[in-house]
Each structure stands twice: as C-alpha cells, then as structure tokens.
Amino acid sequence: MADATLQHDAVQHGLPGEYEAPLFGAYSKKVGMWLFLASDSLTFGALLVAFSYNRISMPAWPTPFGKESIANATVMTACLLSSSLTMVLGVLAAKRGDRAWTRNWLLATMAFGTAFIVLHGMEWSKLIGQGLALPGFPKVPGQAEEFAAVVQAVPQFPATFFGLTGMHMLHVTLGVIYLGVVALRKWFLPILGAIWIAGYALIPSYSVFHYGIHVLGLALVVALIILLLKPKVYDAHDVEVSGLYWHFVDLVWMFIFPLVYLMSTKIV
Amino acid sequence: MHDVAMHDDSKGQYFWVWGALLVLTAVEVVLAYKQVFQPLRMLEALLFLSVIKSALIIGYFMHLKFERALMRWLLVISVTACFVIMYFFFFPDADRILQLGVK
C-alpha cells in the first residue's frame, strides 16, 4: 500500500498535496500485476496463434477428443469458473477484514484449482497412453499406438497441444501455490514440501508428471525466499492482486477450451 | 468515471456472472456436440462466446469495469492491438499455405 504510506507521510509532515495522485488511481502492486498479466497474455496469445496457425494450415489436423474428453474438459472448465467465484468472495471477505473467511475462500479456490490440475493430468496421461506424445516423453509400458500415425503425420499437433496446455497447467499450479502462500503463509511450506516428495515417490517414473512435480520444489524455494524476506501478514490488497492472477488463468482457459478441445471433437 | 472505492460490491452480481459463464460454457459444449455449424462458422461462434465470457471475467471478477477509464482503455487497447497485429501477420500466411496445397 504505497498510496497509504504516501498519504500517511504527507499528513505527518503537514505537506498535503506534495505527492502526485497515482496516475491509474490504483496502488502500485495492482498496476504491476496488470502489467505482468498484459505481457503474459501475449505469451498465451502467441501460443494460441501458433496452435491456430497450424490448425488452419494442416488439412489433416487430428480430432482426438471424444465424448469422454469433452465431458472431462467441461468439468475442468466448471472447476475454474467456480474457483473464480470463490476467489472473488475471498477478495470481498478480505476487504471486510474477515481473515477467517478470506482464508476459507482462498482454500476453496485452491481446491478447485487442484481438481482442475488433477483432471488435466488424467487427460494428459490418457492421451500419452494412447500414443500421443512428444519425443522427450518417457515410454509408457503397454503404450497403445492409436495416435502413433497422427504423431508421425502431424507432429505439430502434440507440439502445440502439449505446449499450450502445459504452459496453462504450469500457470494454474503456480497460482495454487501463490494462493497457498497468501492464505497460510509459512504454514503452507511444509504442506508444499510434503506434496512434492509424496508426488515424486508415488507417481510412476514412466509418467511425465514424475519429473514435472519438481516444479513444486522450485516453487518451494522461491516461496521460502519470499517469506524470509517479507514475513508479513497479507492484507486485502495482496489478496486482490493474487485474485487478479487467478482470474487471468481462468480467462486464458476460456480460449483454450473452445479452440483446442471443442474445435477438435470426435463425436460419433 | 467509476470510483474504485464506490462501486457496488454486492455478492449477488458475482453469482449472476458465474451463472452466466456456466450457461455460456454449456452453450459452447452443445454447439460442439451437435456440430451445429461448419468448422469456420463454428470457430466464429465459439470465439464470439469466448470474448463475451472473457469480458465478463475481466469486467466483473477482475474489477476492470470499476477502474479508472485511463487504466481500463490503456490495457484493453494495447493488448487488443497486439493480438490484431499477430492475427494479420500470421493467419493470411496459414491460409496461403492451405491454398497452395502443402501437405
């Protein structure tokens, strides 16, 4: 709350009007997050354009998503939309100064976000098990060759599909961790560490998520440094800024869902 | 111009927006399931619905509707301009490749 600090200083020194009002009428953290989201939207814009470019230029674009996949993706979408509602209710609770309900709504948002990640991981695992994989992915025992011909003929499909949805999944994962730090602060670190170690031990080594789970380890180190440098109680502004990030990942999915899934349906 | 501190923060409006987003998602899924349109028309319809959904999320959930006009327009115009530039650079080329019959 730089604005509040500035106003406080001005009053203390009897110098009202010494400092200019903020240009955007918002505190600096919020403007900073908006600028980050504007730049991040270009990252996703580029990935969506890459996907769509290849979709248009490849007449034999595969349509691997049957009824089960579409139903799964629809539930994932509902999870994200519901998480946005709980997030905005958390922001309202924070503005009221109700710490208990702020934490409860943030935990509910994290639960929806985690459900999204788990469902998405299951979808990825199913597709990889059917042979839709990138060259660097570990070989799954008994891997079906259903999509092997697709990967050979249109390698752009797995590249753009895993690139786009993987980048989004990473954003959702980091969003859940961000909310965890805001909601629980240092108490979240052992939980994150336990999930990291348990995930690494329990996920079989032929799954890409056996290696992807190390994102949690990196996030743990970053969160630890942040909490050591600024061991503060997060206020309503911090909750609102974290909410902006969370709504952004929801917003991006509103374009990925129709462009990637609904435009490549295999309804029989 | 809306004042950041003065806007209506009632819970009801957020439940309405959430309901509208779920309904629009259901419409998208039905369109895809029923294969109502040809692919190009389907793409237009789905993108139209996605733009409405994103406007609801940005406007209400992200509160941009209640920010100062300067911030609102600066963000919307700059990001939209970048997307338009991307679109005009890449999509005609993708269509050209298709017309050339490159397999």
Boundaries of every domain in chain B? 1-67, 68-103
Of B22, B28, B54, the CB nearest to A81: B22
Domain count across chain A: 1
Q: Which pairs from A191-199 meet CB under 8 Å and 24+ separation?
A: A192/A216, A192/A219, A192/A220, A192/A223, A193/A220, A196/A220
Contacts of A41 in chain B (CB under 8 A): 79
pLDDT in tens, chain A (268 residues): 444 444 444 444 445 555 666 777 788 889 999 999 999 999 999 999 889 888 878 878 888 888 899 999 999 999 999 999 999 999 999 999 999 999 999 999 999 999 999 999 999 999 998 888 888 888 888 777 778 888 888 899 999 999 999 999 999 999 999 999 999 999 999 999 999 999 999 999 999 999 999 999 999 999 999 999 987 888 899 999 999 999 999 999 999 999 999 988 876 5
A156 in any annotated domain: yes
| Helix, strand, coil share (%) of chain A residues, nearest 5 | 75, 0, 25
- Whether pTM > 0.80 for this model: the answer is yes
Give the three-state DSSP class for B9.
coil
Using the Cβ of B95 and the Cβ atoms of chain A, whether some distance falls under 8 Å is answered with: yes
Residue ranges, chain B, pLDDT below 50: 1-6
Residues with Cβ within 8 Å of A251's Cβ and at least 6 positions away in sequence, in order, are B54, B57, B58, B62
Q: Give the per-residue pLDDT at A10.
A: 45
Q: Give the per-residue pLDDT at A130.
A: 87
- Domain around A46: 30-264
Contacts of A74 in chain B (CB under 8 A): 25, 29
A193 in any annotated domain: yes
A220 in any annotated domain: yes
ipTM of this model?
0.86
Contacts of A265 in chain B (CB under 8 A): 32-33, 35
A14 in any annotated domain: no
> Chain B: residue nearest A78 by CA?
B22
Q: Give the per-residue pLDDT at A216.
A: 96
- Helices A188-202 and A156-184 meet at what angle, rounded to 10? 150
Q: Give the per-residue pLDDT at A98.
A: 94
Using the Cβ of B73 and the Cβ atoms of chain A, whether some distance falls under 8 Å is answered with: no
Q: Give the per-residue pLDDT at B101.
A: 58
Q: Rounded to 10 degrees, what is the CA torsion of A253, A254, A256, A262?
A: 130
Of B39, B57, B71, the CB nearest to A25: B71
With CA atoms as reference, report the closest residue to A29 among A172, A224, A253, A182. Answer: A182
The identity of residue A50, as a single letter, is A
Domain CATH for A237: 1.20.120.80
